[in-house]
Chain A
Amino acid sequence: MSAQSTVREPLSTESDWTFELLQDYEREIARIADNFGLDTYPNQIEIINSEQMMDAYASSAMPINYHHWSFGKHFLSVQNSYRRGHMGLAYEIVFNSNPCIAYLMEENTLTMQALVIAHASYGHNSFFKNNYMFRTWTDAESIIDYMLFARKFIADCEQRHGVDEVERVLDACHALMMHGVDRYKRPYPLSLDEEKQRQLEREEQLQQQVNELWRTIPIPEAADGERPMQRFPEEPQENILYFLEKNAPLLEPWQREVIRIVRKISQYLYPQRQTKVMNEGWACFWHFHILHELYREGLVTDGFMLEFLQYHTAVIYQPPFNSPHYSGINPYTLGYSMMQDLKRICDSPTDEDRQWFPDIAGSPWQETLDFAMRDFKDESFILQFLSPRLIRELKLFNVENDADKDHLEVTAIHDEWGYQAIRESLSASYDLGNLEPYIQVYNVNVRGDRALTLRHDMHNGRPLERENAEEVVRHLHQLWGFDVILESVSDDKVMSSIVHSQLASTEA
């Protein structure tokens, strides 16, 4: 980079953007990002207006999605808060596909556009392409094709079976969306054509397989009663939607396909839910460094930098817990600070750093950051890299809330005894397994009334929110077609249960 350190003319001096200027900035940012070794998908940058931004909000940034009332509801509520000034809209939204689609708001100033191009089109983009979660669970090449297929398929179903009928299935699937994710299996990426063809095959095949549950011919060994009671499924299954798709006895082929579509989308969004801190931290870290590099080369003015720094500090501001603005830990702050802290540990480690991070202290920072970005998710990233120094800077402390006690207790603060505990509990708070109730398909009463039993494993004795759970169980019942029982289990003891039987539903 030293070869280019001759000071050049600024790209612009005014604050309004034009397409020519955006191209100039994009070109320079691309060059600098390349010098830093960022590996990205090709970019597709789209300028949109506020209404289109609200559209993007409503469909979780998916460029194409099927129709559902809940997206309409989401749109209306965003529109309402936006119009009444209760919320501003994001400056950009980026979607994980190849090419990587970034939506930029037309209201942004030129500085802001440069900031979000660096942030989204190079920061997020390189994260999408290289982080192991995304590489494992998403296929950026085929997602647009798949969404096309999904939209078409659901529209066809609406034609054939009526909007209400499809909506009922989608509602039920959406309720279980978070429980439609594989955690350990590599999905097989499919193109639009393959997907279509296989869908037809699946339809036939699945319908035959369902008959397992209907089997009326007695199995010889079972007759003499020696065979131990076997559960179905043999192992508990955590992907409830997958289980229903494959095993619910009464579903039509198209309903199974709808479940599959929702499951696939949930799976696609799964990595994003687990890498919020890292993803934002990475993007902030890079927009900071890329724009500073622009400044160092003289391509942007002092005014540009002041405006940029103001946005930047606003984005990574962490209000303390006793501030009225406090609403949890700001993932931008945490992520950005950790990335910067990693760089610091590499560049100028202290004795403490050498003790805590012997393998990375003093190592080349670009390699180390690249490694951190590739092979971690929020939970493991924090567990691995949260340094005592950052804990001190953010003044983090642990508060334990035990429903059995009548007070909260501070269990750790930013001191020698607290670092490890804070690190562990902060990491745990990004573990989806802790955030969401852990519910598995436990058993089907194959020989009796085909009742489906699910088990909620009560982590730290936390119960389910009853009202919501009952609603979801009703949806489950609709897909399963027979009685559904949801048991909350703690230490192998059933603490509470929700039963939804056909009798009860007719009474209600």
Chain B
Amino acid sequence: MTFLIDRRSNPRQKSAVNRQRFLRRYRERIKESVAENLRGRQIAQDGRGEKISIPARDTSEPVFRHGPGGRTTHVVPGNEEFTRGDRIPRPKGAGSGSGPGQASNEGEGLDEFVFQINQQEFLDALFDDMELPNLTKRQLSGLEEFKRVKGGFASDGAPSNISIVRSMRSATARRIALGAGKRTELRRLEQELEALDDGEASLEQRADLEQRIADLRERLARIPFIDDVDIRYHRHIKEPIPHSKAVMFCLMDVSGSMDQATKDLAKRFYILLYLFLSRNYDKTEVVFIRHHTAAKEVDEEEFFHSRETGGTVVSSALELMKSVLEARYSPTEWNIYGAQASDGDNWPNDAVRCTELINQLLPLCQYYAYVEITDAGNKPLWQTYGPVREQWADTFAMQHITGPGDIYPVFHELFRKQSA
């Protein structure tokens, strides 16, 4: 008695729970590894998950086993030249309890336990206990995209949308309605005809009745089987698809004082922000604005790599952001995030203009984060933004970054879950 069963279509991922248990147990380690992996990642790189490696000894399951030492005898195949009593110098490094060739069973093995996690798990690990502030405000407002849903029936439409069942149903109804009177008449005449006796007297009357019956039959047959008025069409209506969209403005100072290392730090910050936003929104767009004395919208490559020199006028970038916002990203549809990175230099006379602009921008933004990448404290821009922070405590935040190690903590600080 044998059963042959095709199990291939069984639900996948029988081990999913065990896998989650594992990830849960090593959450701290995985978070470390994820933070490490952030180096060298493209901003808008769509993730296919991450390779995680954690120290193997942390995940080992201990059991009692023999250590090196003592006396052991191994049986080994493939003798070619040895005879009894031969002495073999102890192989270097394998002077342990394991004899020739058996080292692979014991020993250290790989130092790292390496495995893949998917994009979702990666982001979960990365943004664990962080949240976007003010998220709910404009979340479900994108209205320009629609999907077609069935919406009952209509009496006009395209032939491809004809509903056969509905059409036939109304045709039947029409035929019943139009023929009802005639059929009653017909039945009456037929009864009369049967009631007549076969005598000579009724011969004429019989011919008359037969004629009228034939007429009625013909008129009944002329009622059309299906008519234009019977045809019904499936109706489709457009329904707006609610979804959330976010746009992220990356503003960066590229003046002479910003060197490549500083830009790298800024880039890592932007990457984090991008990943974080794309986790929360269906669609995330990025606008890159760089500025020195004048601002310019550029693509990612140019944003991070081109070199410029000159002074710094921060307001130029804010102004450009404002005009892009007005032109392309209506605040009723988009969740708007601003992230500005700078070494903190600004042209002194620009401060007033900056404050003015940022005060106009902030009501439109969900959140605006400013990171100052500098070793020295309190540069001009920091001082300009100081009062802004007090006024817009909900939407405006700023932090100092001095080195790569700060980025994740600072990011974490900026988007820390607000305790209720």
Please report A residues at the B interface, Cβ cutoff 8 Å.
19, 22-23, 26, 30, 42-49, 51-52, 54-55, 58-59, 67-73, 75-77, 79-80, 83, 99, 103, 106, 121, 163, 167, 171, 174-175, 177-179, 318-323, 326-329, 394-404, 406-415, 417-418, 422, 425-426, 428-429, 436-437, 439, 456, 458-469, 471-472, 475
Closest to B25 in A: A69
CB distance from B105 to the nearest CB of A (A): 7
Q: How many A-B residue pairs have CB under 8 A?
A: 264
In Å, the complex CA distance between A70 and B77 comes to 35
> Do residues B3 and A398 form an inter-chain contact, with CB atoms below 8 A?
no
The 5 A-B pairs with the shortest beta carbon distances in the complex, nearest first, are: A320-B78, A462-B70, A72-B22, A72-B18, A471-B62
Chain B, interface size: which category? Answer: 35 or more
Contacts of A466 in B (CB 8 A): 67
Whether a CB of chain A sits under 8 angstroms from the CB of B165 is no
CB distance from B22 to the nearest CB of A (A): 3
> Do residues A329 and B71 form an inter-chain contact, with CB atoms below 8 A?
no
> Do residues A75 and B18 form an inter-chain contact, with CB atoms below 8 A?
yes
CB interface residues, B 287-333, toward A, < 8 Å: none
Given contacts A177-B63, A320-B77, contact A72 B20 (CB under 8 A): yes
Besides the known contacts A396-B75, A399-B76, A463-B69, 20 further A-B residue pairs in the complex with CB atoms under 8 A apart: A45-B3, A45-B5, A55-B14, A55-B15, A72-B19, A73-B22, A75-B18, A167-B25, A326-B78, A401-B73, A407-B87, A408-B90, A409-B85, A414-B79, A422-B75, A429-B74, A456-B64, A458-B70, A464-B67, A475-B62
> Do residues B86 and A48 form an inter-chain contact, with CB atoms below 8 A?
no
Please report B residues at the A interface, Cβ cutoff 8 Å.
1-8, 10, 12-15, 17-25, 59-80, 82-90, 95, 97, 99-102, 104-105, 113-116
Given contacts A46-B5, A72-B19, contact A468 B101 (CB under 8 A): no
In Å, the complex CA distance between A175 and B63 comes to 5
Contacts of B87 in A (CB 8 A): 407-410
> Do residues A51 and B1 form an inter-chain contact, with CB atoms below 8 A?
no
Given contacts A167-B25, A472-B62, contact A44 B71 (CB under 8 A): no
The 8 Å CB contact of A163, one of B19, B21, B66, B70, is B21
In Å, the complex CA distance between A410 and B13 comes to 50
> Do residues A411 and B76 form an inter-chain contact, with CB atoms below 8 A?
no
The 8 Å CB contact of A327, one of B5, B88, B101, is B101
In Å, the complex CA distance between A415 and B97 comes to 26
The 8 Å CB contact of A77, one of B3, B72, B88, B113, is B113
Contacts of A323 in B (CB 8 A): 78
In Å, the complex CA distance between A216 and B117 comes to 55
In Å, the complex CA distance between A397 and B97 comes to 18
The 8 Å CB contact of A46, one of B7, B59, B65, B76, is B7
The 8 Å CB contact of B88, one of A121, A179, A407, is A407
CB distance from B13 to the nearest CB of A (A): 8
Closest to B21 in A: A69
CB distance from A156 to the nearest CB of B (A): 15
Given contacts A55-B15, A75-B18, A407-B87, contact A462 B105 (CB under 8 A): no
> Do residues B105 and A327 form an inter-chain contact, with CB atoms below 8 A?
yes
Given contacts A26-B4, A69-B21, A468-B65, contact A83 B116 (CB under 8 A): yes
> Do residues A76 and B115 form an inter-chain contact, with CB atoms below 8 A?
yes
CB distance from B401 to the nearest CB of A (A): 34
The 8 Å CB contact of A328, one of B63, B68, B105, is B105
In Å, the complex CA distance between A175 and B249 comes to 53
Contacts of B3 in A (CB 8 A): 42-45, 99
In Å, the complex CA distance between A287 and B237 comes to 65
Given contacts A47-B8, A396-B76, contact A412 B84 (CB under 8 A): yes
> Do residues A439 and B64 form an inter-chain contact, with CB atoms below 8 A?
yes
Given contacts A408-B87, A464-B67, contact A398 B74 (CB under 8 A): yes
28 contacts between A and B (CB under 8 A): A19-B4, A26-B2, A49-B8, A55-B14, A59-B15, A69-B22, A69-B24, A70-B61, A72-B18, A106-B8, A177-B63, A320-B78, A327-B105, A396-B75, A396-B77, A399-B74, A401-B73, A403-B71, A408-B89, A409-B88, A411-B73, A412-B84, A429-B75, A459-B70, A460-B71, A461-B71, A462-B69, A463-B66
